[in-house]
Structures are given as C-alpha cells and as structure tokens.
Amino acid sequence: MSSKQWRNIFITFLIQFFIFKPLLWISRVVVSYTTRNQQKRTERRYLSILDSTEDHQTWSSTALSLDLLRGFKKWHCTIPTSSYCNPAALIYETNVAIELARIGNVRAIGEFLRTMLHRRVNGVASPLLFRYYTGTKDFVENYNIAIHDLIEVFSGRREEMTPLGSSTSTANSDTKSEFVEDLLLWAKNTAGTQEAQMTPREKQELLCDTAHSFGVTALMLSGGASLGMYHIGVVRALFEAGLLPRIISGSSAGSIIAAVICTRTDADLSTMLVGNGLSLGEIHLNAFEVNDSPEESIGKKFDRLLASGAFMDVETLMLCLQRNCGDLTFLEAYRMTGRILNVSVANNRPGDHIDKHMLLNYITASNVVIWSAVAASCAMPGLFTAVQLLEKNGSEIVPYLPGQLWFDGSVARDLPREELSTTFNVNYFLVSQTNPHVIPFLRKPPSPIVHKKRSGIFKRCWFAVCSEARHWLLKSYRVGLLPKSGGAEVPYLMATQCYSGDITILPIGSVWSAIPDFINLTSNPSEEHMAYVISNAQRRTWPHINQIRWITCVERALLREYEHLSFAV
C-alpha cells in the first residue's frame, strides 16, 4: 500500500474514533437518559393517581400499568433461587393436584388435601412473593388455583381443573414425596371402585379436619379514640373485595367498628358500605357528645374529672352503642350474621397483670350484651369511668359478674393474638393499627414492593432510640427496679405487647398528616371528616388486597365447600 492509502486509512480511523464513536456514545446516553426520565415521569403520574383516586377499579388498572412498567411480567415468570420459598416443591404439588383431579379418585384427593395442605407450606405465604401490587409468581398462582380447583372437585362442585400456565413443568426427583407417589399409585389402581368414593358426610368431616389444620385468618382492629374511624375504610375495602374475615377482634375504638360489622348481615353491610362508607344516618358515632344537645363546657368536663375521675360522660357512650347494636348478645349476633365478634376488656382489680385481660366472644361470654362489652372496652382510664358488664337472663338484662368493673381492653391487650389462636385456631392476622400512642413508635413493616422509598436517616435513628428505650424499660421491670403493678403497671402492659400482625395496615399514614386527627381525638366525627377518613384508609388498604387474596385463597375455598356440603348432608 502506498503512503497516500495509509494516510487515508489513518484519517478515517481518527474520524471514526474521535468523532463518530463519541457521537454514538453521546446519542446512547441521551436516549438512555430520556427513556429513564420518561419512565420516572410515567411512574410519578401513576403514583399520583394511586394516591388520589377513590375508585378501586381505577386504582387496580393504574397499579397494573405501574407494575408492567416496573418489570412485573419478567419477574412473574422467573423462578427464584433464594431460600424464602421452595418453587420446585410447589410445582410438584401443583402437578400432583392436576393428576389426582384427572384420575378422579375422591378418597385419594381427600388424603392429599388433609396431609399436604398447610398455611405456610414451602414458603407460599412469604411476603417476598408479593413484590408487586397486582400479582405474584406464576408458580404460586398456579399452586393456589390448582388446590382451589381440587377442593371443588373433591366436593363435587367442579369436574375439570382450570388450565394453568407454563410453570407446571416436571419436577426433579429430589422434590418428590414417597407418600404422594404411593398415593398416586393407589389412586390409579382403585379409580372407579367403591373404595375410591366418599359420602357427603365423610367429605364434610375431612374438609373440617383440613381447615382446622390449615388455620384461620382474623382481622384485628386496634384502639385509637376517634382515629378508630379509619377502620371503616379498611373494613370497606376488604368487604368489597370479598376478603373480610369471619373472625373480627376489636379493642377500644376498634371494638365499636367490629361490633357494627358483626351485628349486621351481608345484605345490611352491602347497603351500608356504599358511597363514602358509613353515614351518620345509618350509624350513630356520637360517642363523646350528644349531637343534638349543647356542647359541654371545658369547666363542666373538669368538674366531672375531679368528681369521678373521667373527662367524658360514659352514659353518652353507652347510649350511642346501644342505638348501634341494640340488645344483641355475642351468641345472638353470631347466629344472625355468622361472624365471630371478639371484644378485649380489662378488669380494674389491683393485682397481677396476668389476670387483667379477658376476650369476650360467643364462646367465653355468650350471653353478655354487646353494647356493654364495647362500652367497657372503650372506657379508657381518665376518659371514661369503668363499666359493669351486662348479660341477658331470659328477657331480663342483669349484671355480669356483679361488682366487677371493666375498662379499656387496649391497655392490657390491644391485639389478642394468643387468645384468638387458642379459641378459634387463628394463625394469620390482619391488623389495622390506629393507636395514637403506638403509631409514632411503630416501625413500618419492611415492604417487599419494588421501588419502595427507604426510610430516612432521622426515622432510622428515631426507631433505634425507641427500641433501645424499650429494651432498658423491660430490663428495669425484670430486675425489679420498677414494679409490675400500681402506677407503673400500664407502661409495662404497653411495652410487652406486639402491635403488628402478619399483614399490618396503617390507614393513618404518616404522623404529620394525622396531626389534625390527633388534636380531635375526643370529638365526634362529622360527615365530611368521615368521607376523608374512609377514602384515605381505603387507599392504604388496596395495596394489601393482592397479598391477602392469594394467601387466603385456599382457606376460603375450604370454608365455602364445607358449607356447600352441609346442605347435602
């Protein structure tokens, strides 16, 4: 090659390396930057809609668009390798369910359900499986759908399984169960024989055993004075989604909402929970003042405080509750609605803190009048005087445990987890937390939702200080520096409680946004305030609906088919 050709090649190389290559790199950077900015703007627009809409259908469609923008489709089909769940075992059990349904051996299906169904089997309830608002992993959805359909095949309501996605691939030998393989072999050998059949009574008994082993979900509504009205939005969101648990517990203000819900049938709730939720025409919420009477002066309230030790009139509270619930007892409400109401109360006897708490329901206090139990649960020391419980004796209403007075159940046990587990086999807890003395110190549960903002340095330092202070407070009680009775009893009871659940809903949001609510803790809510409260609480409940729906899918199928078989027995 001549020197001229070499010179042309060199010039071409310089032009390409110093001009074209930088221009190409700059164009790629500009395109990447504009794409990211466009995505961020779209995300902000979607988030703005999620934070402002009052329509669940609009919220759901916007959440789906946001999830797709954030990569849900790829994540949905990816099988994780982490230890928080066992995808291979879930896929294997999904395939077994499909095979058993194809074989049609009812007794083998029953044995599979009774033996293999558990609430947290192979990590199927792990929060990390619900990183998006509108779905979960493909193999988790397939597992729940397959088990749901298998239960319906077992009861006779369904003949064929729903076609599933692509994650039902053949499992490797390490995930296979010897019991299940033997069960499949027996199912094939006995299919079509009399041995493979079961009577409706046998099916119902087996579903009862399976449901007992699987466990039950309960909704627990915390205390919170007038902040308890936020519970209405939580209840409404769950009821509209068909996910409101049968077992509902309430403490203090939460017991008012729990009592209102558990003393009304589904038809009544459908009528009541419309528009902006409970209206003052449907339900009476004037627990602090009688709306049609002149407001009491501060001087009169302080006179009452000095005379009786209570700032507010407990008779007004009782009248409000009686107008809401009538004279229904716990047992009557259960028979009327099928819902199980639980109300936390505490006795005012001095002594061991262990005997303070009692959970009232149709088993422990079947004839106790609901409005008296709720009044006792709301009787916060200093705000209302302690209350005598009442019960029905025939047509008469008489004192229950005469001479024993009861007060705010939130003080001793805001969320009665142990009692619900023991009495009703509850092993999954939905909590709506509105307690004003808890929210500032309650660290929000770590959210698995992608692109969730991390807490700032101030919040992390604040919760670290709170955790350390609680540690030293409890240590002071353990070594005897502080007594567990008397004036130091209430701090001990509050410090030893757990104020969260498997899913904790914080309908109030941030403390700063709720400052006006904190100021009006002992005021009756207005129509406008109720609309605002319910709207906010619903929006903070909707992000949890997807997780609740999938985690309770099998439980709801078991209960529904048990009731379906009860008509055939």
Q: How far apart are alpha carbons 250 and 237 in whole angstroms?
A: 17
Give the model's confidence band at 523: pLDDT under 50 very low, under 70 low, under 90 confident, else very high: low
Q: How far apart are alpha carbons 457 and 46 in whole angstroms?
A: 27
pLDDT tens string 89-128? 999 999 999 999 999 999 999 999 999 999 988 889 988 8
CATH class entry, domain 216-442+499-525: alpha beta
Residue 369: is its pLDDT beyond 70? yes
Distance (Å) of CA 397 to CA 139, 199, 327, 367, 390: 56, 45, 9, 10, 6
Report CA dihedral (322, 325, 331, 337) to the nearest 10 degrees.
Answer: 180
Distance (Å) of CA 108 to CA 32, 197, 201, 244, 312: 57, 9, 16, 32, 62
pLDDT tens string 478-513? 888 887 776 677 777 777 888 889 999 988 876 666
Residue 158: what residue type?
R
Residue 423: is its pLDDT beyond 60? yes
Question: Encoding tokens for residue 434?
Answer: 């509105």
Domain boundaries, the chain: 87-214+558-568, 216-442+499-525, 443-498
Give the model's confidence band at 217: pLDDT under 50 very low, under 70 low, under 90 confident, else very high: very high
pLDDT tens string 337-364? 999 999 999 887 765 555 678 899 999 9
Radius of gyration, CA atoms only, the chain: 29
Q: How far apart are alpha carbons 305 and 385 in whole angstroms?
A: 10
Q: How far apart are alpha carbons 72 and 131 in whole angstroms?
A: 9
Q: How far apart are alpha carbons 382 and 409 in whole angstroms?
A: 14
pLDDT value of position 240: 92
pLDDT tens string 139-153? 999 999 999 999 999
Residue 280: is its pLDDT beyond 50? no
Contact 370, 328 (CB under 8 A): yes
End-to-end CA gap in the chain: 99
pLDDT tens string 531-557? 888 888 999 999 999 999 999 999 999
Distance of CA 305 to the CA centre of its chain: 38
Question: Encoding tokens for residue 142?
Answer: 């397939």
Average pLDDT, the chain: 83
pLDDT value of position 459: 72
For residues 377-404, average pLDDT: 87
pLDDT value of position 566: 84
Q: How far apart are alpha carbons 229 and 484 in whole angstroms?
A: 32
The three-class DSSP label of residue 400 is coil
Residue 255: is its pLDDT beyond 80? yes
pLDDT tens string 188-211? 999 888 888 899 999 999 999 999
pLDDT value of position 292: 46
Q: Which residue has the tokens 């692509």?
A: 166
- 278 or 68, which is more confident: 68
CA angle 483, 484, 488 (to 5 degrees): 70
pLDDT value of position 381: 78
Residue 169: is its pLDDT beyond 90? no
Question: Of 110-114, 133-137, 159-163, 391-395, which range is least confident?
Answer: 159-163
Give the model's confidence band at 22: pLDDT under 50 very low, under 70 low, under 90 confident, else very high: confident
Percent pLDDT > 90 in the chain is 40
Residue 39: is its pLDDT beyond 90? no
pLDDT value of position 152: 93
pLDDT value of position 494: 78
pLDDT value of position 54: 87
Contact 128, 75 (CB under 8 A): no
Q: How far apart are alpha carbons 372 and 327 in whole angstroms?
A: 9
Find the DSSP H helices in 191-243.
Answer: 200-214, 230-240
Percent pLDDT > 70 in the chain is 83
Catalytic residues: 252, 408
Residue 161: is its pLDDT beyond 60? yes
Q: How far apart are alpha carbons 200 and 288 in whole angstroms?
A: 53
pLDDT value of position 219: 97
For residues 559-563, average pLDDT: 93
